[in-house]
Amino acid sequence: MSAGSSRETRSNSKAVGEGQAPARRYHSVRAQSEALARPLAVEDYVVQSMPDVSPTKWHLAHTTWFFETFVLARFAPSYEPLEPRYGYLFNSYYESVGTRHPRPERGMLSRPTVAETYDYRAHVDRAMGALFGRAGSAVLEEAASLIELGLQHEEQHQELMLTDLKHVLGRNPLRPAYGSAAPMPPEREVQALRFFDQPGGLISIGHEGPEFAFDNETPRHRVFLRPYRLADRLVTNGEFLAFIEAGGYSRPEFWLSDGWATLQAHGWQAPLYWERADSGWFEYTLAGGAPLMHSAPVSHVSYYEADAYSRFAGARLPTETEWEAVAARQPTSGNFVERRHYHPSAAPDDDGVRQLYGDAWEWTGSAYLAYPGYRPWAGAVGEYNGKFMSNQFVLRGGSCATPERHVRATYRNFFPPDARWQFTGIRLAEDA
Amino acid sequence: MSAGSSRETRSNSKAVGEGQAPARRYHSVRAQSEALARPLAVEDYVVQSMPDVSPTKWHLAHTTWFFETFVLARFAPSYEPLEPRYGYLFNSYYESVGTRHPRPERGMLSRPTVAETYDYRAHVDRAMGALFGRAGSAVLEEAASLIELGLQHEEQHQELMLTDLKHVLGRNPLRPAYGSAAPMPPEREVQALRFFDQPGGLISIGHEGPEFAFDNETPRHRVFLRPYRLADRLVTNGEFLAFIEAGGYSRPEFWLSDGWATLQAHGWQAPLYWERADSGWFEYTLAGGAPLMHSAPVSHVSYYEADAYSRFAGARLPTETEWEAVAARQPTSGNFVERRHYHPSAAPDDDGVRQLYGDAWEWTGSAYLAYPGYRPWAGAVGEYNGKFMSNQFVLRGGSCATPERHVRATYRNFFPPDARWQFTGIRLAEDA
Amino acid sequence: MSAGSSRETRSNSKAVGEGQAPARRYHSVRAQSEALARPLAVEDYVVQSMPDVSPTKWHLAHTTWFFETFVLARFAPSYEPLEPRYGYLFNSYYESVGTRHPRPERGMLSRPTVAETYDYRAHVDRAMGALFGRAGSAVLEEAASLIELGLQHEEQHQELMLTDLKHVLGRNPLRPAYGSAAPMPPEREVQALRFFDQPGGLISIGHEGPEFAFDNETPRHRVFLRPYRLADRLVTNGEFLAFIEAGGYSRPEFWLSDGWATLQAHGWQAPLYWERADSGWFEYTLAGGAPLMHSAPVSHVSYYEADAYSRFAGARLPTETEWEAVAARQPTSGNFVERRHYHPSAAPDDDGVRQLYGDAWEWTGSAYLAYPGYRPWAGAVGEYNGKFMSNQFVLRGGSCATPERHVRATYRNFFPPDARWQFTGIRLAEDA
Amino acid sequence: MSAGSSRETRSNSKAVGEGQAPARRYHSVRAQSEALARPLAVEDYVVQSMPDVSPTKWHLAHTTWFFETFVLARFAPSYEPLEPRYGYLFNSYYESVGTRHPRPERGMLSRPTVAETYDYRAHVDRAMGALFGRAGSAVLEEAASLIELGLQHEEQHQELMLTDLKHVLGRNPLRPAYGSAAPMPPEREVQALRFFDQPGGLISIGHEGPEFAFDNETPRHRVFLRPYRLADRLVTNGEFLAFIEAGGYSRPEFWLSDGWATLQAHGWQAPLYWERADSGWFEYTLAGGAPLMHSAPVSHVSYYEADAYSRFAGARLPTETEWEAVAARQPTSGNFVERRHYHPSAAPDDDGVRQLYGDAWEWTGSAYLAYPGYRPWAGAVGEYNGKFMSNQFVLRGGSCATPERHVRATYRNFFPPDARWQFTGIRLAEDA
């Protein structure tokens, strides 16, 4: 129901010490949100195609509300809200901040208009600019971590803007494209999937140190692992198609009980956005409809589908510890939003485990729960992560819609097991 | 889900005989739809605030689709649709014309955009213009009745555009106004309600003659009526408030069983758009929120509320025959959309039964069923009225959102008994 | 949700004047309810197979509660309830008598047990016996009409006991039989359907006179009818099968809009209780499963199916006035519950309109509404009929599950248009 | 959604080697199911008060079906089913064994009757007796582990029979008692809650060895634990009441997001079966309604309530490893079903951690997932545990409705976090 967080942010205190760096980072992140919305028609900002999806307009306003509520209201005493009722309209789920507009009705609001929403952003950006003008002040020092949280939060919503928009456009029978994406690499053969042995033992995972991380990544702690084997790349569309063709969606033996019930309730027969035509399989992408690319990683699968596929393949999903133990040794580079494909692409031919970052979030077999010794942040922002610790699974590694700097090895994303509208894919593991 | 129709249309054949008159009427009705949309922001065109409501964009496209499907496809062989998939998107409920986009998902379509929708209108208007250019031709003679039906249909949707938009704007917590309405007359005392005796006997109702009427108004037929008494004006907000203050919404003895269940399921405590504040009652109108005007007719009540009020008042609702017997003797003038109040206004002080036309549709105690000897129109347009003949009640007289020329004494509107988003009000009757 | 009522009851005052006749009638009706339950296993008394259905145990207790609440509580001051909480458990829908147990939860009550329910009946019967012992007293005179209403009410519930039980047993995959029914006449050819001309004119319908009738049958009043033609018998299973084989359930042109939506929501493909096997069509009856008898009247069809069939047949359903005008000239005899078939049987070969009484309730095209001048009974029993006057259609003539003496020409039964679990069938009519 | 398993069963092979011991155990377990049903009226066997609850009749038949399907059909070639359609009616969720009757409709079956259900049990017991007569044979050796599984399965259903019945009787407004329970100890003071330090380190949990255990308890494996502190007893009703009185059910800061939504959707204001009267709090127990006993452990709380309470108390729930590390050092004795209280009772005064077994299942903070290296059983019984590994939490220790011999330190029960109708309680833990 939520999203994720920040890679490689320099330490906050250091950043503040660097004078205008925080202001530059603020305006850069804020500008990126607006850049992502630039290809849209006004009408595209308004629609909510299912309760999980929010209109673009809402994302732009809600991220602004975050700074207004958690930073300006507290650290800028002379700040005047542009419109007090926005506090009600753009609160997402912070119970401690007051009542809020019901989530499933976000698409029923034609007002504020898109132009008024940008006015709201400008109003808050000006006030934030004034706050940054007090660089070095005690107030700004104190606000720094909340400002950084607000930017991390906005980066998460940048990803949701793309995935929500894909849902809005993708269920329109006209199948319009989002805008100019960078061209995808051509179809090609991919190397056969291999598993690489991993040693197990007493492993430390989780975040420690001065860099930004969400509370749910802490504390760093030890986990005992048995030796295991991790697949070298994500499962491809072509491999997943073999599951479909083997009757995977009509054979209960592969499925969790809840998964089978969900499949039947929704009539699932393929990943979200797949369509079977007489001439073969097509997939809706943010560049429009396209023939299914067999070499690309499968995405838009639920946990249930990932788990069922792993059983079909005689394997299983990795735990989050198994994933992090390997990922911690690799650089966080990959097919992130900066490449402007907005779609997963085939793993490079190579030796060893790769494609851990970018392309598609990887479902793990770990329930999203507190780490031993976990403490939520103090205050209202303590509602950020901890209160979702039931009925969700952990995903790792980021996707083609995630800002590259936002992800790191310890980053924990989480979604309910039936969620499909994110770029979610499958990496396999095995017992040694 | 609704109907509507035409008053005082000159006979179709005559109109056609007058050369350019049909073309002028066509372009005038089409222009009026666009004029009604003029005060809107682009965002306002997109939203569907409940399944019964359609986005303005959809109304503008659907009325255009009607001409494309039922006129151009048949009478203009060289006509090329602008976009063939619009046939799927903008069919409302004509089963015989093919499958259609699901009604509750009309608000999930950001495309076609508003500009593209106007392009669609212009495309069809050009083709219709070419058809009118063949004035006097056998083709045009043959098409004339379908063209007139299309215009009547568009007039009905003009009313729905306003009532749907009221729902969209009215449930927005910002309570925006629709645009510049003509100022309402000031609050004042209204004359006490009186009942006037009506004779009964063998009465003829229904339509007969060359003027346009919907199939459901025919055939003209005889109904035996007992003597009765009809209230001289609509029930006012002030009178309805007395019902509320007497506990009307918590006393089951006034309510039909289905009405009581509906009230409880939805938590109704007042008509739609009423709000109780510390300083008294307010009402959302298309001019924005305003203190409740006691002299104005109550509107936005369901059949259940109208029926419960009538029982509270020791009276009952009139049958449609009782209504028509009186209305047929009066001119069809009143507070219609042309006055640009977009809200019911107080009855003039006068002697005798008045306010039968305009202000608010009047719920009758008659179920919407076929008249004796009824025959639906031939072809696909036979789905226009007949297939809704269950679970609906008849309303008469038009409202402040109806084009004046659209209504006549025999006109039968119909809605399910729980509908509240139209301008629907209450006239009382009694047995003699 | 339904009604029912009494034919041929001698005038109440006369009955009371005859001394023990009221007591005999009371005990005879009460004994008949128990006789109908005799073939059941204890478990059969408990189950509620859908919200519309009540457990047999509930029927036996609720009819008893009626006498306790409306007769004993008022006319037998020393009466002590066996268990005060039964007042809550066994109230059906009388808002004015207090809160009540939710209808959909009637099948969740294992207590009172069946034996305790019979104890409750005996307790009330003893108190009623004591009341009858005061024959000729002013109290009994005053109670007489409520006692008669209680007996009419119990006769209605006798029919519901059978139809509810049919639903309980019929949806059990074991398809158990209710008990020993009289053998059905063998399959045979039926005469081709004919229509007989009826004159129309100013017709009087409705009840007048001292015999018992429900309030909704009054007052007797005049209705103007056009000449029409009425089918001589009910539509048979064989004829309805032709509708199915012509694709009737997949052709929207035959259906009301609400009917088509209902058909799709429930997946209807045949009347309730029909099953298609490799060897042909079967029908569940209270005697168990049996091959479909083509000559028998179709039953367990909704209004929507009756209406769709009539359109397929190029005809229509009669109005209730058209039905009563003919039925009033005929004796009320037919295949009623006393024949113990518990299933409709083929119309006898004969000349003229027949089978108007018994076999299956006949859907009319008339909405269930108040007659002109209608006044509900005073007091709590005024909730008996009037509050259901929306969203229901009138049925006439009784069925194979109705007590013969309960029906008469003016009797108005009513059900919502999607109801199928009663013995409901089809008679056709045409305009002359 | 399911239940648990077996303590202290001698090894299956050994048991079989002892000749008639398996037969004795079989008949003893089977007889215990029937003994539990003995206090019931026939009607009590039939009702399903919510989809999670099954009628007693169904439990008795389903446990029988298990032996018929998994043992007799495979190992007794001449076995003839009493009624082949029972295979459809009494399959719970085994997809690989064929289609099945829908779970929410189990309460709609009046047949087979209770007597027929006992006939079915006797029929299968006779066939099982014949199978046991072949003691020492290879067939019986092969069947032994499935027979033991069937008995473990029946023990689980014995617990469900009691908890389901409590729901059936407890929601009946008459609040009937189940039957004669042993008297509860009187109200008294309980010692203040204390936490005891536990060392942490590399701990082994899970089952290993020849005794019976469910697949989900295996394999035994190592888990690294930080030092922690475990509460010495269960949280009492009196302590939970303090949470309620502090506004616990209206303060979102204590609740998981899903828990808060669940609370609001259902209107929870106290544990299931608690009722507030003018004279104080009452609780429905299987002995009937009774004043709330403050010293007894709170039960019938969901995971959400347990988790919220722990946050209110400044503590947390233990993980299943933390629980098992302590419980493995203690004998599995406590207030189990054999004491016939059918209700949790106050912890004895003592030093050290106690009450780990019996009284109430203890919610842990561990999601129900596979242990590292987990392999489900082969064949259809592989659907027993593994397919429920999503959206459930682990519970430990057994309850007052569990057979004592059925539980052990490694036993993992699991339910969704909103389940309240089991005897589920709260033990607290803390970080050291």
Question: Is pLDDT at B17 greater than 50 in this prediction?
Answer: no
Do D271 and D425 contact (CB within 8 A), yes or no? no
Query: Could you say which of B256, B373, B388 has the minimum Cβ distance to residue C390?
Result: B256
ipTM of the complex: 0.94
Assess A113–B contact: CB distance below 8 Å, yes or no: yes
Chosen from D387, D392, D394, D414 to mutate, greatest number of chain A CBs within 10 A: D387
Residue C136, judged by CB atoms within 10 A of its CB (0-12, 13-18, 19+), counts as: exposed
With H, G, I as helix, E, B as strand and everything else as coil, classify residue D197: strand
Inspect the structure and tell me whether chains B and A have 3 or more CB pairs less than 8 Å apart: yes
Tell me how far the alpha carbon of residue A227 is from its chain's centroid: 29
Mutual orientation of helices D56-67 and D114-132 as an angle, nearest 10°? 20
Smallest CA–CA distance from D57 into chain C, residue: C43
pLDDT band at B8 (very low <50, low <70, confident <90, very high): very low
In the prediction, which pLDDT does D1 show? 32
In the prediction, which pLDDT does B259 show? 98
When mean pLDDT is compared across A54-68, B68-82, D91-105, the lowest value belongs to: D91-105
* Alpha-carbon dihedral sign for residues D51, D52, D53, D54: positive
Q: Which amino acid is at C306?
A: A
Q: Which stretches of chain C score pLDDT less than 70?
A: 1-19
Query: Could you say which of B224, B257, B258 has the minimum Cβ distance to residue C224?
Result: B224
In the prediction, which pLDDT does D6 show? 31
Question: Is pLDDT at A280 greater than 50 in this prediction?
Answer: yes
Question: Is pLDDT at A95 greater than 90 in this prediction?
Answer: no
Of the candidates A228, A198, A235, the one whose C-alpha atom is nearest the C-alpha of residue A352 is A198
In the prediction, which pLDDT does A139 show? 86
Element (H, E) at D221: strand D221-225
* Percent of chain A with pLDDT strictly greater than 90: 87
- As a whole number of Å, the CA-based R_g of chain D is 22
With H, G, I as helix, E, B as strand and everything else as coil, classify residue D6: coil
d(CA D23, CA D15): 10
Query: Could you say which of D49, D111, D169 has the minimum Cβ distance to residue C172?
Result: D111
Inspect the structure and tell me whether chains A and C have 3 or more CB pairs less than 8 Å apart: no
In the prediction, which pLDDT does D381 show? 86
pLDDT digit string, tens, across residues C263-316: 999 999 999 999 999 999 999 999 999 999 999 999 999 999 999 999 999 999
> Which residues does chain D have within 8 Å of residue C112's beta carbon, measured at their own beta carbons?
174
CB contact (8 A) between residue C95 and residue B253: yes
CB contact (8 A) between residue C47 and residue D107: yes
Average pLDDT over residues A343-349: 95
Chosen from A204, A222, A390 to mutate, greatest number of chain D CBs within 10 A: A390
The DSSP code for C425 is E
In the prediction, which pLDDT does B185 show? 85
d(CA B365, CA C362): 24
Average pLDDT over residues D240-246: 98
Other CB atoms closer than 10 Å to residue C406's CB: what's the count?
25
Q: In angstroms, what separates the C-alpha of B277 from chain A's closest C-alpha?
A: 17
Q: In angstroms, what separates the C-alpha of B431 from chain C's closest C-alpha?
A: 6
In the prediction, which pLDDT does A3 show? 36
Tokens of C191: 């005469």
3-state secondary structure D66-120: HHHHHHHHHHCCCCCCCCCCHHHHCCCCCHHHCCCCCHHHHHHCCCCCHHHHHHH
Q: In angstroms, what separates the C-alpha of C253 from chain B's closest C-alpha?
A: 7
Tokens of B27: 């372009």
Do B393 and B414 contact (CB within 8 A), yes or no? yes
CB contact (8 A) between residue B110 and residue A85: no
Average pLDDT, chain A: 93
pLDDT digit string, tens, across residues A7-26: 223 333 333 344 478 899 99
Position of tokens 């996707």? A399
pLDDT band at B225 (very low <50, low <70, confident <90, very high): very high
Q: Establish whether the linkage from the previous residue to B84 is cis, with ω within 30° of 0.
A: no
Q: Which residues pair with C280 in a beta bridge?
A: C277
> Which residues does chain A have within 8 Å of residue D319's beta carbon, measured at their own beta carbons?
372
CB contact (8 A) between residue B369 and residue C367: yes
Question: Is pLDDT at B299 greater than 80 in this prediction?
Answer: yes
Average pLDDT over residues B132-138: 84
pLDDT digit string, tens, across residues A38-55: 999 999 999 999 999 999
Average pLDDT over residues D204-222: 97
Query: Could you say which of C42, C46, C101 has the minimum Cβ distance to residue D47?
Result: C46
Query: Could you say which of C202, C253, C367 has the minimum Cβ distance to residue B224?
Result: C202
Element (H, E) at B203: strand B201-205
> Which residues does chain D have within 8 Å of residue A365's beta carbon, measured at their own beta carbons?
369-370
d(CA D94, CA D376): 14
Query: What secondary structure does DSSP assign to B246-291, as a single string?
Result: TTGGG-GGGS-HHHHHHHHHHT--SSTTEEEETTEEEEEETTEEEE
Smallest CA–CA distance from D84 into chain C, residue: C174
* Percent of chain D with pLDDT strictly greater than 90: 87
CB contact (8 A) between residue C367 and residue B367: yes
* Percent of chain B with pLDDT strictly greater than 70: 95
Q: In angstroms, what separates the C-alpha of A155 from chain B's closest C-alpha?
A: 25
Question: Is pLDDT at B5 greater than 50 in this prediction?
Answer: no
pLDDT digit string, tens, across residues B21-51: 889 999 999 999 999 999 999 999 999 999 9
Question: Is pLDDT at A121 greater than 70 in this prediction?
Answer: yes
Assess C370–B contact: CB distance below 8 Å, yes or no: yes
Assess A89–B contact: CB distance below 8 Å, yes or no: yes
Query: Could you say which of D93, D256, D369 has the minimum Cβ distance to residue A257?
Result: D93
In the prediction, which pLDDT does A2 show? 39
Average pLDDT over residues D186-200: 95
Assess D110–C contact: CB distance below 8 Å, yes or no: yes
Assess A370–D contact: CB distance below 8 Å, yes or no: yes
Smallest CA–CA distance from A314 into chain D, residue: D375
Of the candidates C198, C199, C217, the one whose C-alpha atom is nearest the C-alpha of residue C207 is C217
Smallest CA–CA distance from A112 into chain B, residue: B174
Assess B96–C contact: CB distance below 8 Å, yes or no: yes
Average pLDDT, chain D: 93
pLDDT digit string, tens, across residues D281-301: 999 999 999 999 999 999 999
CB contact (8 A) between residue A391 and residue D417: yes
Query: Could you say which of A49, A109, A114 has the minimum Cβ distance to residue B108?
Result: A49
Question: Is pLDDT at A1 greater than 80 in this prediction?
Answer: no
Assess A111–B contact: CB distance below 8 Å, yes or no: yes
In the prediction, which pLDDT does D17 show? 39
pLDDT digit string, tens, across residues D304-354: 999 999 999 999 999 999 999 999 999 999 999 999 999 999 999 999 999
Question: Is pLDDT at D236 greater than 90 in this prediction?
Answer: yes
> Which residues does chain D have within 8 Å of residue C49's beta carbon, measured at their own beta carbons?
108
Q: In angstroms, what separates the C-alpha of B167 from chain A's closest C-alpha?
A: 10
Other CB atoms closer than 10 Å to residue B397's CB: what's the count?
27
pLDDT digit string, tens, across residues D386-432: 999 999 999 999 999 999 999 999 999 999 999 999 999 999 999 99
Query: What secondary structure does DSSP assign to C327-351, as a single string?
Result: HTTS---SB-GGG---S--PPPS-S
Pairing of strands D280-285, D274-277: antiparallel
> Which residues does chain D have within 8 Å of residue C173's beta carbon, measured at their own beta carbons?
85, 88-89, 101
Position of tokens 């009230």? B263
d(CA D313, CA D309): 6
Average pLDDT over residues A383-406: 96
Q: In angstroms, what separates the C-alpha of C180 from chain B's closest C-alpha?
A: 38
When mean pLDDT is compared across A377-381, B345-349, D70-74, the lowest value belongs to: A377-381
Average pLDDT over residues A236-245: 98
Chosen from A40, A42, A43, A86 to mutate, greatest number of chain B CBs within 10 A: A43
